[in-house]
Amino acid sequence: MTVKILLTGSKGFLGSHTADCLNTNPDIRLTCSVQRLFSNADWAAELVGQQVVIHCAGLTNVFKNEFADTLSEFRRVNVQGTLKLCQQAATFGVRRFIFISSIKVNGEQTPLDRPFTATDTPAPVDAYGISKNEAEEGIRKVALETGMEIVIIRPPLVYGPNAKGNFARLLNLVNKGFLLPFGSIYNKRSLVSLDNLVDLIITCIKHPRAANQVFLAGDGQDLSTTELLRAIASATGVSSRLLPMPAFVLMFAASLLGKKAIAQRLLGSLQVDISKARNLLGWIPPLSVEEGLRRCFVENEDRL
């Protein structure tokens, strides 16, 4: 039976790739896709006849010079907009609502080899993570009140073709052969390739055991920053140029320069445990980190 799907965020990094994969799947029919998310939007026309909503749209960045209260702006879009869509989806008889949340709901950092799990008590730190956690709480309430099934997926950093932000900058620095002071970093960080995340999303469309569950997404292979940079170099076909410097020296220098948050992402650990998705859904990430990075570079090399 073909499943009719509404996808939000269809022009974004994750949404566009999700749309491409849905359109090649004979058991799924992407009947409607929308890009933006508004807190006061009326979704009635888009929701008629839909069986599943995949909600990828959301606000990820707020510039402080535009909004004095960044948390309020995140809440306006990520909480109010999500709940309006979820409530209307239930009203129109949508069977399952798949919400792409964030590992930031769990927190920002983990002790080495003590990964986040899907059952951890949420501990968001920044405004974005707080808004995603509040959205999760809201859609759970809608599910309890209406009987609509929900699925929550929390990815860590997502990488792939046309990735932006810090990951794109790392690709660029390695590809251009810059000497980087990250040759002896012994942290562990979980990533998820775009293809692996979309594969998990598609698995959750029909799988009966996905209903009303929270899943953490990941490649199943954690890397230190040093290992990641070497893997990127291998994927791009260049030599890695890494200077071994102690993490505490780099953290101290970053603190002096006002870049402590960036340093924490490069030097600290953030690991996720994907065993729940493996055990409950039988899901195995189809791509290795090496293959995910190779695909990332091959499709980005002209841009870089």
DSSP states along 277-294: HHHHH----SS-HHHHHH
Q: Where are the alpha helices (DSSP H) in 81-126?
A: 82-91
Looking at residue 259, what is its pLDDT?
83
**Inter-residue contact 283 to 277 (CB < 8 Å):** yes
- Give me the residues paired with residue 10 across strands: none
Q: What are phi and psi of 116, to 5 degrees?
A: -65, 150
Distances (CA, A) of 29 to 7, 191, 196: 11, 29, 20
Residue type, 131: S
Q: What is the pLDDT along the chain (304 residues), one digit of tens a residue?
A: 689 999 999 889 999 999 999 999 888 888 877 776 777 778 888 999 999 999 999 998 765 545 557 899 999 999 999 999 999 999 999 999 999 999 999 999 999 989 999 999 999 999 999 999 999 999 999 999 999 999 999 999 999 988 888 888 888 888 888 888 999 999 999 999 999 999 999 999 999 999 999 999 999 999 999 999 999 999 888 888 899 999 999 898 888 888 888 888 889 999 999 999 999 999 999 999 999 998 887 654 444 3
Q: Which residues in 91-190 belong to E strands, given as ranges?
A: 96-100, 149-154, 157-159
Q: 118-124 long-range CB contacts below 8 Å, 24 or more apart? A: 118/154, 118/213, 118/214, 118/215, 118/216, 118/273, 118/276, 119/214
Q: Is 159 a catalytic residue?
A: no
Looking at residue 26, what is its pLDDT?
85
Looking at residue 254, what is its pLDDT?
86
Integer Cα distance of 274 and 280 in angstroms: 10
Q: Element (H or E) spanning 216, and its range?
A: strand 213-216
Catalytic residue among 43, 74, 128, 297: 128
Looking at residue 298, what is its pLDDT?
67
Give the CA-trace dihedral at 13, 16, 17, 23, to 10 degrees: 170
**Domains in the chain: ranges and CATH:** 3-154 (3.40.50.720)
